[in-house]
Structure 1
Amino acid sequence: MIQEKEPALQKIKAIYGDCDIEQFRELSLNQLEDIVKYAERGASISNAIKLSRQ
């Protein structure tokens, strides 16, 4: 499961730079993919997390 999440986690780290990636490890793969989608559209990290939980 962790290996499936790794590409999304790497994209999040690439977009947001020096963020605490550990906070994302507990999220589902779908949530991570949503965060990447919102991040690519320019959402802040906190907004991307909020939107992924809806």
Structure 2
Amino acid sequence: MPKTMIETAMKKNMADKMDKDNDLGSFKRDTSKEQNKKDKVKKLMKQMKKKAY
């Protein structure tokens, strides 16, 4: 694996981690109504994944 490939992979991982942190931060700032919507979506996603298997 060339060095540049490893570097880009590491950068992508860092970016993903930062995105997750940002998502958590914005999630905490959201109103309870918005959080409920997100929770419902997450539950639906889990159900869909279970059905897919």
| TM bracket (short chain) | 0.3 to 0.5
Bigger radius of gyration among the two: 2
* TM-score, with length taken from structure 1: 0.39
TM-score normalized with structure 2 length: 0.39
